[in-house]
């Protein structure tokens, strides 16, 4: 039995999909006006792991993650760059796909773009106006009337009267109430726009996700996820407009990933502690970044620091050390074990990846013990379990040597290192131990550690 913390009810609940054996999940994706940052990586990796585990447990998952490819930020950035908005979004989408591929994030089953759903968005706005939940203003905008939905605030637990207290309406807006939000925005001079019954314009941000999610997954679906900053007002507004438009419950389970902090402060461009995914992966291998994100529960707050990334690298290295120099047994020959059961117990408890990783380290310790005892076949079977369970988290799928030798980042190429290892071997054979030690020290100074064994010498990054 999988139990998931539902933000709506603020408690863990037994997960019962609408259709037995099938899961329909929608996650708010990127607004593609810039490179993805560490907060985006947190959401991408968290819901990738959730999708992988649901499939591991036998569910057929339809995972939809949208792309917001039209909004104020996109138009401002395109104007600053002096380029069409579509060129900016195409470039950022390509970069996003590159980043997520390096992080081992699987592609969603569907990746709808807002600009491809303009007709569906207009149709939903029509329904809301016809049912009295929305109104067209004199300036060409269309607004959702928040006070027409009695359950407004049920996700965020905010009260409408508190939201209205002290709220102000911009002089350029034609809202009836400060809490009302835009469904359709009238186009300004020179802006990209689409024709509508209310004049040329473009959709508001919130209505985009309601239209895309219901078109892809139906009026009611199982899971809706996203980052912590989306809970209010974005997800709250999605609920209001979707349930008023369809007359049905919008989503059964709401999930939100935890926030990212940098050295215990909120990540912010104004504080100068804002990092893109690709900036971080210039310093650390992508799998180390993924391990860092996976090692904490998806709802917990994650503190990014050089020290924490370095520790993630060290602990992931220990897991790969257990697999080094061993050929795992065939997966089909290794039945489920006590480790699989403990792994499932952790992940069934609201996708507790921290507990699941503890199981990986227990398996790694078992491999090392088997090898010390000379039980190579047992070590191979345990290695197969480690690779199998690691794969559910998107980890430990590289050849260990590729992991240890990737991205040396120094002046020495792999060929240079191998040549020095051979020169050291020749020196040792000639009993010139001083020269052998000198070569070892030279490599160590350049961040390369040598590991000697009966089978020969291998190397890895420090």
Q: Is 269 annotated as belonging to a binding site?
A: yes
Tokens 């403990």 belong to residue: 342
C-beta of residue 301 within 8 angstroms of C-beta of residue 38:
no
382: part of which helix (H) or strand (E)?
A: helix 376-392
Q: Is 238 annotated as belonging to a binding site?
A: yes
Burial string for 316-348 (b: 16+ CB within 10 Å, else e) reads: bbebbbbbbebebbeeeebeebebbebbbebbb
Paired tokens of 11: 């408690």
CA-closest candidate to residue 208, choices 183, 179, 236, 229:
183
Three-class SS string for 303-338?
EECHHHHHHHHHHHHHHHHHHCCCCCCCHHHCCCCH
Paired tokens of 51: 């999708």
Q: Which residues contact 149 (CB under 8 A, 6 or more apart)?
A: 133, 240, 243, 244
Q: Is 234 annotated as belonging to a binding site?
A: yes
Distance separating alpha carbons of residues 36 and 190, to the nearest angstrom: 28
CA-closest candidate to residue 121, choices 190, 48, 223, 209:
209
C-beta of residue 371 within 8 angstroms of C-beta of residue 377:
no
Q: Is 209 annotated as belonging to a binding site?
A: yes
CA-closest candidate to residue 93, choices 151, 171, 29:
29
C-beta of residue 82 within 8 angstroms of C-beta of residue 372:
no
Residue 437 φ/ψ, nearest 5 degrees: -65, -35
Q: Is 36 annotated as belonging to a binding site?
A: no
Distance separating alpha carbons of residues 204 and 134, to the nearest angstrom: 13
Distance separating alpha carbons of residues 151 and 136, to the nearest angstrom: 22
**Binding-site entries for Zn(2+):** 28, 209, 234, 238
**Binding-site entries for ATP:** 269
**Binding-site entries:** 28, 209, 234, 238, 269
């Amino acid at each position: 039995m999988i139990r998931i913390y539902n933000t709506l009810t603020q408690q863990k609940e037994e997960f019962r999909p609408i259709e037995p054996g099938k899961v329909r999940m929608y996650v708010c994706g990127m607004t593609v006006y810039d490179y993805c940052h560490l907060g985006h990586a947190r959401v991408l990796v968290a819901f990738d792991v959730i999708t992988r585990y649901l499939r591991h447990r036998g569910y057929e998952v339809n995972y939809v993650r949208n792309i917001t490819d039209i909004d104020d930020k996109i138009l401002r950035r395109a104007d600053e760059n002096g380029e069409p908005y579509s060129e900016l979004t195409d470039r950022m989408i390509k970069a996003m796909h590159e980043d997520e591929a390096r992080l081992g994030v699987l592609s969603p089953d569907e990746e709808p773009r807002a600009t491809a759903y303009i007709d569906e968005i207009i149709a939903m706005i029509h329904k809301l106006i016809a049912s009295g939940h929305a109104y067209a203003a004199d300036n060409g905008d269309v607004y959702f009337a928040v006070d027409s939905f009695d359950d407004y605030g049920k996700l965020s637990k905010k009260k409408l009267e508190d939201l209205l207290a002290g709220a102000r309406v911009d002089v350029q807006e034609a809202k009836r109430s400060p809490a009302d939000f835009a469904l359709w925005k009238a186009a300004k001079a020179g802006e990209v726009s689409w024709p509508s019954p209310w004049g040329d314009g473009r959709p508001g941000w919130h209505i985009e996700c309601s239209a895309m999610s219901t078109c892809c997954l139906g009026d009611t679906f199982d899971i809706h996820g996203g980052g912590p900053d989306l809970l209010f007002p974005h997800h709250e507004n999605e609920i209001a407009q979707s349930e008023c438009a369809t007359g049905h419950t919008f989503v059964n389970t709401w999930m939100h990933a935890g926030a990212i902090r940098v050295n215990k402060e909120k990540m912010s461009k104004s504080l100068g502690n804002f990092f893109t995914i690709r900036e971080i992966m210039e310093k650390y291998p992508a799998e180390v970044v993924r391990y860092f994100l996976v090692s904490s529960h998806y709802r917990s707050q994650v503190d990014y620091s050089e020290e924490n990334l370095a520790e993630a690298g060290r602990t992931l290295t220990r897991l790969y050390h257990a697999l080094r120099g061993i050929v795992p047994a065939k997966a089909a020959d290794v039945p489920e074990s006590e480790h699989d059961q403990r792994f499932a117990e952790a992940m069934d408890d609201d996708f507790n990846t921290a507990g699941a990783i503890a199981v990986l380290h227990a398996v790694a310790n078992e491999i090392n013990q088997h090898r010390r005892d000379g039980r190579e076949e047992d070590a191979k079977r345990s290695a197969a379990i480690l690779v199998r369970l690691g794969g559910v988290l998107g980890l430990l799928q590289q050849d260990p040597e590729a992991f240890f030798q990737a991205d040396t980042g120094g002046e020495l190429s792999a060929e240079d290192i191998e040549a020095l290892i051979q020169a050291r071997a020749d020196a040792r054979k000639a009993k010139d131990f001083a020269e052998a030690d000198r070569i070892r020290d030279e490599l160590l100074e350049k961040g390369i550690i040598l590991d000697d064994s009966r089978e020969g010498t291998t190397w890895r990054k420090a």
